[in-house]
Structure 1
Amino acid sequence: MRKLKLTIGIVAIAFITVTAVSCKDAKKEQNTSDGNHSEMNHDNSDGHHDGESKKMAMNGDGASQAILNDYFNLKDALVADDNVKAKNLGATLAKSLGNLDVSNYSDAKKADLKDIIEDAVEHSEHISKNDIDHQREHFKILSKDVTDMVAITGTTTKLYEQFCPMFDGGSAWLSMNEEVTNPYYGSKMLKCGKVQREIN
Protein backbone atom coordinates (compact mmCIF):
# COMPACT_ATOMS: atom_id res chain seq x y z
CA MET A 1 0.00 0.00 0.00
CA ARG A 2 2.84 2.38 0.85
CA LYS A 3 4.45 1.56 -2.50
CA LEU A 4 1.23 2.32 -4.35
CA LYS A 5 0.86 5.73 -2.63
CA LEU A 6 4.50 6.55 -3.45
CA THR A 7 3.98 5.60 -7.10
CA ILE A 8 0.81 7.71 -7.35
CA GLY A 9 2.64 10.65 -5.77
CA ILE A 10 5.53 10.37 -8.24
CA VAL A 11 3.13 10.15 -11.21
CA ALA A 12 1.24 13.24 -9.98
CA ILE A 13 4.45 15.26 -9.60
CA ALA A 14 5.62 14.15 -13.04
CA PHE A 15 2.28 15.21 -14.58
CA ILE A 16 2.41 18.66 -12.96
CA THR A 17 6.01 19.15 -14.15
CA VAL A 18 5.15 18.12 -17.71
CA THR A 19 2.13 20.45 -17.72
CA ALA A 20 4.16 23.47 -16.58
CA VAL A 21 6.99 22.74 -19.04
CA SER A 22 4.51 22.27 -21.91
CA CYS A 23 3.07 25.73 -21.40
CA LYS A 24 6.53 27.29 -21.24
CA ASP A 25 7.45 25.48 -24.47
CA ALA A 26 4.25 26.72 -26.09
CA LYS A 27 5.17 30.27 -25.01
CA LYS A 28 8.71 29.93 -26.42
CA GLU A 29 7.32 28.53 -29.64
CA GLN A 30 4.92 31.44 -29.91
CA ASN A 31 7.66 34.02 -29.24
CA THR A 32 10.26 32.52 -31.58
CA SER A 33 8.05 31.35 -34.42
CA ASP A 34 4.44 32.43 -34.78
CA GLY A 35 4.18 30.23 -37.83
CA ASN A 36 4.60 27.05 -35.79
CA HIS A 37 2.19 28.15 -33.09
CA SER A 38 -0.51 29.18 -35.55
CA GLU A 39 -0.54 25.66 -36.98
CA MET A 40 -1.93 24.34 -33.66
CA ASN A 41 -5.27 22.72 -34.26
CA HIS A 42 -8.05 24.13 -32.11
CA ASP A 43 -11.44 22.49 -31.94
CA ASN A 44 -13.90 25.00 -33.31
CA SER A 45 -16.86 22.64 -33.31
CA ASP A 46 -18.80 24.92 -30.97
CA GLY A 47 -19.88 26.96 -33.99
CA HIS A 48 -18.17 30.23 -33.02
CA HIS A 49 -16.15 30.21 -36.21
CA ASP A 50 -18.81 29.63 -38.83
CA GLY A 51 -19.80 32.18 -41.46
CA GLU A 52 -22.86 33.27 -39.50
CA SER A 53 -20.85 34.56 -36.53
CA LYS A 54 -18.67 36.69 -38.84
CA LYS A 55 -21.78 38.67 -39.73
CA MET A 56 -22.31 39.90 -36.17
CA ALA A 57 -24.32 43.07 -35.84
CA MET A 58 -22.14 45.91 -34.65
CA ASN A 59 -24.84 47.72 -32.69
CA GLY A 60 -24.26 46.06 -29.29
CA ASP A 61 -26.92 47.58 -27.06
CA GLY A 62 -26.23 49.26 -23.72
CA ALA A 63 -27.16 46.24 -21.61
CA SER A 64 -24.88 43.88 -23.54
CA GLN A 65 -22.03 46.41 -23.27
CA ALA A 66 -22.59 46.59 -19.49
CA ILE A 67 -22.37 42.78 -19.37
CA LEU A 68 -19.08 42.90 -21.30
CA ASN A 69 -17.67 45.57 -18.97
CA ASP A 70 -18.54 43.46 -15.91
CA TYR A 71 -17.12 40.35 -17.60
CA PHE A 72 -13.80 42.13 -18.35
CA ASN A 73 -13.57 43.38 -14.76
CA LEU A 74 -14.10 39.81 -13.56
CA LYS A 75 -11.45 38.53 -15.97
CA ASP A 76 -8.98 41.14 -14.65
CA ALA A 77 -9.69 40.08 -11.03
CA LEU A 78 -8.86 36.46 -11.96
CA VAL A 79 -5.71 37.59 -13.78
CA ALA A 80 -4.73 39.38 -10.54
CA ASP A 81 -5.49 36.23 -8.44
CA ASP A 82 -8.01 38.32 -6.45
CA ASN A 83 -10.60 35.86 -5.10
CA VAL A 84 -12.58 38.42 -3.06
CA LYS A 85 -12.87 40.91 -5.94
CA ALA A 86 -13.85 38.09 -8.32
CA LYS A 87 -16.62 37.05 -5.89
CA ASN A 88 -18.04 40.60 -5.85
CA LEU A 89 -17.76 40.93 -9.62
CA GLY A 90 -19.43 37.55 -10.15
CA ALA A 91 -22.46 38.86 -8.25
CA THR A 92 -22.38 42.13 -10.24
CA LEU A 93 -22.21 40.25 -13.54
CA ALA A 94 -25.14 38.00 -12.56
CA LYS A 95 -27.25 41.16 -12.06
CA SER A 96 -26.23 42.80 -15.34
CA LEU A 97 -26.91 39.53 -17.20
CA GLY A 98 -30.40 39.51 -15.71
CA ASN A 99 -30.99 43.03 -17.06
CA LEU A 100 -30.43 42.11 -20.72
CA ASP A 101 -33.53 43.06 -22.72
CA VAL A 102 -34.12 40.45 -25.44
CA SER A 103 -37.45 41.88 -26.69
CA ASN A 104 -35.99 43.42 -29.87
CA TYR A 105 -34.63 40.14 -31.23
CA SER A 106 -36.30 37.52 -33.43
CA ASP A 107 -38.03 34.62 -31.66
CA ALA A 108 -35.14 32.25 -32.44
CA LYS A 109 -32.53 34.71 -31.12
CA LYS A 110 -34.68 35.48 -28.06
CA ALA A 111 -34.77 31.77 -27.20
CA ASP A 112 -31.00 31.43 -27.74
CA LEU A 113 -30.26 34.52 -25.63
CA LYS A 114 -32.52 33.34 -22.79
CA ASP A 115 -30.67 30.00 -22.68
CA ILE A 116 -27.28 31.70 -22.81
CA ILE A 117 -28.17 34.23 -20.09
CA GLU A 118 -29.68 31.59 -17.80
CA ASP A 119 -26.49 29.51 -18.01
CA ALA A 120 -24.21 32.57 -17.64
CA VAL A 121 -26.11 33.76 -14.53
CA GLU A 122 -25.67 30.33 -12.93
CA HIS A 123 -21.90 30.36 -13.52
CA SER A 124 -21.59 33.99 -12.36
CA GLU A 125 -23.37 33.06 -9.13
CA HIS A 126 -21.00 30.12 -8.60
CA ILE A 127 -18.08 32.53 -9.08
CA SER A 128 -19.59 34.84 -6.44
CA LYS A 129 -19.49 32.05 -3.81
CA ASN A 130 -16.34 30.00 -4.37
CA ASP A 131 -12.55 29.83 -4.09
CA ILE A 132 -10.42 30.98 -7.01
CA ASP A 133 -9.76 27.53 -8.49
CA HIS A 134 -13.49 26.86 -8.66
CA GLN A 135 -14.09 30.39 -9.99
CA ARG A 136 -11.73 29.69 -12.87
CA GLU A 137 -13.55 26.46 -13.77
CA HIS A 138 -16.84 28.39 -14.01
CA PHE A 139 -15.18 31.27 -15.87
CA LYS A 140 -14.35 28.88 -18.74
CA ILE A 141 -18.05 28.12 -19.37
CA LEU A 142 -19.06 31.71 -18.62
CA SER A 143 -16.61 32.87 -21.32
CA LYS A 144 -18.28 30.60 -23.88
CA ASP A 145 -21.69 31.98 -22.86
CA VAL A 146 -20.52 35.60 -23.22
CA THR A 147 -18.94 34.81 -26.61
CA ASP A 148 -22.23 33.24 -27.75
CA MET A 149 -24.10 36.32 -26.51
CA VAL A 150 -21.80 38.65 -28.48
CA ALA A 151 -22.42 36.58 -31.63
CA ILE A 152 -26.09 37.64 -31.34
CA THR A 153 -25.94 41.13 -29.76
CA GLY A 154 -22.79 42.40 -31.44
CA THR A 155 -20.19 44.66 -29.85
CA THR A 156 -19.26 48.33 -30.23
CA THR A 157 -15.55 47.63 -29.60
CA LYS A 158 -13.01 45.21 -31.06
CA LEU A 159 -12.61 42.10 -28.92
CA TYR A 160 -9.94 39.41 -28.91
CA GLU A 161 -10.79 35.78 -28.32
CA GLN A 162 -7.72 34.32 -26.60
CA PHE A 163 -6.87 30.67 -25.98
CA CYS A 164 -4.83 28.82 -23.37
CA PRO A 165 -3.95 25.25 -24.47
CA MET A 166 -3.06 24.21 -20.90
CA PHE A 167 -6.14 24.88 -18.76
CA ASP A 168 -8.70 22.06 -18.68
CA GLY A 169 -7.77 20.66 -22.10
CA GLY A 170 -7.78 24.13 -23.69
CA SER A 171 -9.84 27.17 -22.68
CA ALA A 172 -10.81 30.43 -24.37
CA TRP A 173 -11.77 33.85 -23.02
CA LEU A 174 -12.49 37.34 -24.34
CA SER A 175 -10.31 40.40 -23.90
CA MET A 176 -10.35 44.03 -25.01
CA ASN A 177 -6.55 43.95 -25.31
CA GLU A 178 -4.47 42.00 -27.81
CA GLU A 179 -1.83 41.32 -25.15
CA VAL A 180 -2.47 37.99 -23.43
CA THR A 181 -2.99 38.00 -19.65
CA ASN A 182 -4.24 34.60 -18.57
CA PRO A 183 -7.26 34.53 -16.18
CA TYR A 184 -6.98 30.75 -15.69
CA TYR A 185 -3.47 30.78 -14.22
CA GLY A 186 -2.94 34.39 -13.15
CA SER A 187 0.58 35.05 -11.88
CA LYS A 188 1.56 31.35 -12.25
CA MET A 189 1.51 31.51 -16.06
CA LEU A 190 0.38 35.03 -16.90
CA LYS A 191 1.37 35.01 -20.58
CA CYS A 192 0.32 31.46 -21.44
CA GLY A 193 -1.96 31.62 -24.49
CA LYS A 194 -2.47 33.35 -27.82
CA VAL A 195 -5.02 35.40 -29.75
CA GLN A 196 -7.31 32.97 -31.51
CA ARG A 197 -9.37 35.52 -33.47
CA GLU A 198 -10.57 39.11 -33.51
CA ILE A 199 -14.25 39.97 -33.12
CA ASN A 200 -15.27 43.34 -34.55
Structure 2
Amino acid sequence: MKKVKLVTTIMVMAFISLTAMSCKNAKKEHNNDEGHNTEMNHDNSDGHHDSDKKEMAMNSNQDGNTEIILKDYFNLKDALVVDDEAKAKKIGASLEKSLENLDVSKYTDAQKLELKDIILDAKEHAEHISKSPIAHQREHFKVLSKDIIDMVAITGASNKLYEQYCPMYEKGSAWLSMNKEVRNPYYGSKMLKCGKVQREIN
Protein backbone atom coordinates (compact mmCIF):
# COMPACT_ATOMS: atom_id res chain seq x y z
CA MET A 1 0.00 0.00 0.00
CA LYS A 2 2.87 2.39 0.89
CA LYS A 3 4.46 1.58 -2.47
CA VAL A 4 1.26 2.53 -4.34
CA LYS A 5 1.02 5.83 -2.43
CA LEU A 6 4.66 6.61 -3.18
CA VAL A 7 4.24 5.88 -6.92
CA THR A 8 1.04 7.98 -7.02
CA THR A 9 2.80 10.90 -5.28
CA ILE A 10 5.73 10.76 -7.72
CA MET A 11 3.36 10.71 -10.72
CA VAL A 12 1.39 13.71 -9.39
CA MET A 13 4.61 15.69 -8.79
CA ALA A 14 5.86 14.87 -12.30
CA PHE A 15 2.54 15.97 -13.84
CA ILE A 16 2.60 19.30 -11.93
CA SER A 17 6.19 19.97 -13.03
CA LEU A 18 5.40 19.23 -16.69
CA THR A 19 2.30 21.44 -16.60
CA ALA A 20 4.23 24.34 -15.08
CA MET A 21 7.00 24.00 -17.68
CA SER A 22 4.58 23.88 -20.62
CA CYS A 23 2.75 27.00 -19.35
CA LYS A 24 6.08 28.80 -19.03
CA ASN A 25 7.10 27.81 -22.59
CA ALA A 26 3.72 28.82 -24.01
CA LYS A 27 4.06 32.20 -22.33
CA LYS A 28 7.56 32.68 -23.81
CA GLU A 29 6.27 31.87 -27.30
CA HIS A 30 3.29 34.17 -26.81
CA ASN A 31 5.55 37.05 -25.73
CA ASN A 32 7.78 36.63 -28.79
CA ASP A 33 5.08 36.98 -31.45
CA GLU A 34 3.05 39.81 -33.01
CA GLY A 35 5.75 42.35 -33.98
CA HIS A 36 4.41 45.91 -33.55
CA ASN A 37 1.99 45.14 -30.77
CA THR A 38 4.46 43.15 -28.69
CA GLU A 39 6.97 45.98 -28.83
CA MET A 40 4.44 48.29 -27.27
CA ASN A 41 3.45 45.81 -24.58
CA HIS A 42 6.29 45.54 -22.06
CA ASP A 43 4.75 43.40 -19.33
CA ASN A 44 4.66 39.98 -17.70
CA SER A 45 1.14 39.91 -16.27
CA ASP A 46 -1.09 36.88 -15.87
CA GLY A 47 -3.55 38.08 -18.56
CA HIS A 48 -6.70 37.86 -16.45
CA HIS A 49 -9.59 40.26 -16.97
CA ASP A 50 -10.00 43.00 -14.40
CA SER A 51 -13.39 41.51 -13.52
CA ASP A 52 -11.52 38.40 -12.28
CA LYS A 53 -9.96 40.61 -9.61
CA LYS A 54 -13.17 42.20 -8.35
CA GLU A 55 -12.89 40.36 -5.02
CA MET A 56 -9.68 42.31 -4.38
CA ALA A 57 -11.30 45.63 -5.18
CA MET A 58 -13.23 46.17 -1.94
CA ASN A 59 -11.26 47.52 1.01
CA SER A 60 -12.71 48.89 4.23
CA ASN A 61 -10.20 51.76 4.23
CA GLN A 62 -11.60 53.07 0.94
CA ASP A 63 -14.95 54.59 0.02
CA GLY A 64 -16.99 51.53 -0.99
CA ASN A 65 -18.90 53.55 -3.57
CA THR A 66 -15.65 54.43 -5.34
CA GLU A 67 -14.74 50.76 -5.52
CA ILE A 68 -18.19 49.90 -6.94
CA ILE A 69 -17.66 52.54 -9.63
CA LEU A 70 -14.23 51.09 -10.43
CA LYS A 71 -15.62 47.55 -10.57
CA ASP A 72 -18.27 48.64 -13.10
CA TYR A 73 -15.66 50.59 -15.05
CA PHE A 74 -13.32 47.58 -15.28
CA ASN A 75 -16.20 45.30 -16.30
CA LEU A 76 -17.11 47.82 -19.01
CA LYS A 77 -13.50 47.93 -20.18
CA ASP A 78 -13.43 44.11 -20.34
CA ALA A 79 -16.67 44.05 -22.39
CA LEU A 80 -15.13 46.45 -24.94
CA VAL A 81 -11.92 44.39 -25.04
CA VAL A 82 -13.96 41.36 -26.20
CA ASP A 83 -16.16 43.47 -28.55
CA ASP A 84 -19.33 42.72 -26.55
CA GLU A 85 -21.66 45.63 -27.35
CA ALA A 86 -24.69 44.20 -25.51
CA LYS A 87 -22.75 43.61 -22.30
CA ALA A 88 -21.17 47.08 -22.52
CA LYS A 89 -24.68 48.58 -22.74
CA LYS A 90 -25.80 46.78 -19.56
CA ILE A 91 -22.67 47.73 -17.65
CA GLY A 92 -22.92 51.33 -18.89
CA ALA A 93 -26.37 51.54 -17.27
CA SER A 94 -25.04 49.98 -14.06
CA LEU A 95 -22.09 52.39 -14.00
CA GLU A 96 -24.41 55.36 -14.40
CA LYS A 97 -26.21 54.29 -11.19
CA SER A 98 -22.94 53.65 -9.34
CA LEU A 99 -21.73 57.14 -10.25
CA GLU A 100 -25.02 58.63 -9.02
CA ASN A 101 -24.46 57.02 -5.60
CA LEU A 102 -20.93 58.30 -4.95
CA ASP A 103 -20.73 59.80 -1.46
CA VAL A 104 -18.54 62.91 -1.57
CA SER A 105 -19.22 64.03 2.02
CA LYS A 106 -15.77 63.11 3.39
CA TYR A 107 -13.84 65.25 0.91
CA THR A 108 -12.82 68.91 1.14
CA ASP A 109 -15.07 71.57 -0.38
CA ALA A 110 -12.74 71.97 -3.37
CA GLN A 111 -12.62 68.19 -3.90
CA LYS A 112 -16.42 67.95 -3.60
CA LEU A 113 -16.87 70.53 -6.36
CA GLU A 114 -14.36 68.77 -8.59
CA LEU A 115 -15.86 65.33 -7.95
CA LYS A 116 -19.37 66.60 -8.68
CA ASP A 117 -18.19 67.93 -12.06
CA ILE A 118 -16.36 64.68 -12.83
CA ILE A 119 -19.36 62.53 -11.86
CA LEU A 120 -21.81 64.66 -13.85
CA ASP A 121 -19.69 64.26 -16.99
CA ALA A 122 -18.97 60.56 -16.38
CA LYS A 123 -22.68 59.81 -15.90
CA GLU A 124 -23.48 61.39 -19.27
CA HIS A 125 -20.90 59.18 -21.02
CA ALA A 126 -22.03 56.05 -19.15
CA GLU A 127 -25.61 56.79 -20.27
CA HIS A 128 -24.49 57.16 -23.91
CA ILE A 129 -22.59 53.86 -23.66
CA SER A 130 -25.78 52.16 -22.44
CA LYS A 131 -27.61 53.26 -25.62
CA SER A 132 -24.98 53.27 -28.38
CA PRO A 133 -23.42 50.90 -30.90
CA ILE A 134 -19.89 49.75 -30.06
CA ALA A 135 -18.02 52.35 -32.14
CA HIS A 136 -19.77 55.14 -30.20
CA GLN A 137 -19.35 53.25 -26.93
CA ARG A 138 -15.61 53.40 -27.47
CA GLU A 139 -15.70 57.13 -28.23
CA HIS A 140 -17.56 57.76 -24.96
CA PHE A 141 -15.29 55.35 -23.09
CA LYS A 142 -12.32 57.57 -23.97
CA VAL A 143 -13.80 60.59 -22.14
CA LEU A 144 -15.26 58.39 -19.40
CA SER A 145 -11.76 57.01 -18.77
CA LYS A 146 -10.39 60.53 -18.34
CA ASP A 147 -13.16 61.20 -15.79
CA ILE A 148 -12.39 57.99 -13.87
CA ILE A 149 -8.65 58.76 -13.87
CA ASP A 150 -9.46 62.25 -12.50
CA MET A 151 -11.76 60.70 -9.88
CA VAL A 152 -9.07 58.26 -8.70
CA ALA A 153 -6.59 61.14 -8.40
CA ILE A 154 -8.88 62.49 -5.65
CA THR A 155 -10.37 59.35 -4.09
CA GLY A 156 -7.47 56.93 -4.46
CA ALA A 157 -7.99 53.20 -4.97
CA SER A 158 -7.50 50.16 -2.76
CA ASN A 159 -5.36 48.31 -5.33
CA LYS A 160 -2.53 49.18 -7.68
CA LEU A 161 -3.89 50.44 -11.00
CA TYR A 162 -2.19 50.87 -14.35
CA GLU A 163 -2.89 53.83 -16.59
CA GLN A 164 -2.48 52.47 -20.12
CA TYR A 165 -2.26 54.35 -23.39
CA CYS A 166 -3.02 53.63 -27.04
CA PRO A 167 -1.27 56.13 -29.34
CA MET A 168 -3.39 55.16 -32.36
CA TYR A 169 -7.02 55.59 -31.21
CA GLU A 170 -8.19 59.17 -31.86
CA LYS A 171 -4.67 60.63 -31.65
CA GLY A 172 -4.02 58.93 -28.32
CA SER A 173 -6.35 57.52 -25.67
CA ALA A 174 -5.82 56.34 -22.09
CA TRP A 175 -7.67 53.93 -19.83
CA LEU A 176 -7.24 52.27 -16.43
CA SER A 177 -6.60 48.60 -15.75
CA MET A 178 -5.90 46.44 -12.71
CA ASN A 179 -3.56 44.34 -14.85
CA LYS A 180 -0.18 45.34 -16.23
CA GLU A 181 -0.86 43.34 -19.39
CA VAL A 182 -2.34 45.54 -22.13
CA ARG A 183 -5.77 44.58 -23.46
CA ASN A 184 -6.97 47.41 -25.68
CA PRO A 185 -10.66 48.40 -25.21
CA TYR A 186 -10.58 50.83 -28.16
CA TYR A 187 -9.72 48.26 -30.83
CA GLY A 188 -10.64 44.98 -29.11
CA SER A 189 -9.79 41.94 -31.22
CA LYS A 190 -8.49 44.09 -34.10
CA MET A 191 -5.45 45.29 -32.14
CA LEU A 192 -5.74 43.65 -28.74
CA LYS A 193 -2.23 44.37 -27.51
CA CYS A 194 -1.74 47.83 -28.98
CA GLY A 195 -0.73 50.11 -26.15
CA LYS A 196 1.64 50.54 -23.22
CA VAL A 197 1.61 51.17 -19.49
CA GLN A 198 1.93 54.91 -19.03
CA ARG A 199 2.16 54.93 -15.24
CA GLU A 200 1.28 52.98 -12.10
CA ILE A 201 -1.19 54.43 -9.59
CA ASN A 202 -0.73 53.49 -5.87
Give the TM-score range, shorter chain. Answer: 0.7 to 0.9
Partner residue, 1:63: 65
TM-score, normalisation: structure 2: 0.72
Partner residue, 1:27: 37
Deviations along 1:68-111, one digit per CA (max 9) or x if unpaired, are 00000000000010000000000000000000000111110000
1:87 to 2:89 alignment? yes
**Aligned ranges 1:1-200 → 2 under 5 Å:** 26-27=36-37, 29-30=39-40, 59-200=61-202
Q: CA deviation at 1:27?
A: 2.4
Q: CA deviation at 1:30?
A: 3.2
Distance in 2 of aligned mates of 1:26 and 1:166: 12
Q: CA deviation at 1:28?
A: 5.1
Give, as a single letter, the amino acid of the residue that structure 2 aligns with 1:180: V
Give, as a single letter, the amino acid of the residue that structure 1 aligns with 2:141: F
8 Å contact from structure 2 (residues 40, 194) kept in 1 = no
3-state DSSP of counterpart to 1:173: strand
TM-score, normalisation: structure 1: 0.73
Over alpha carbons, which structure has the higher Rg? 2
Distance in 1 of aligned mates of 2:138 and 2:200: 23
List, as ranges, runs of 4+ consecutive aligned residues in structure 1 with deviation greater than 2 Å: 24-31
Give, as a single letter, the amino acid of the residue that structure 1 aligns with 2:182: V
Deviations along 1:146-169, one digit per CA (max 9) or x if unpaired, are 000000001000000000000000
3-state DSSP of counterpart to 1:190: coil
8 Å contact from structure 2 (residues 104, 115) kept in 1 = yes
Give, as a single letter, the amino acid of the residue that structure 2 aligns with 1:159: L
Number of residue pairs matched by the alignment: 152
Distance in 1 of aligned mates of 2:40 and 2:96: 35
Distance in 2 of aligned mates of 1:27 and 1:79: 15
Deviations along 1:47-71, one digit per CA (max 9) or x if unpaired, are xxxxxxxxxxxx5310000000000
Q: CA deviation at 1:25?
A: 6.5
CA RMSD of aligned residues (A): 1.6
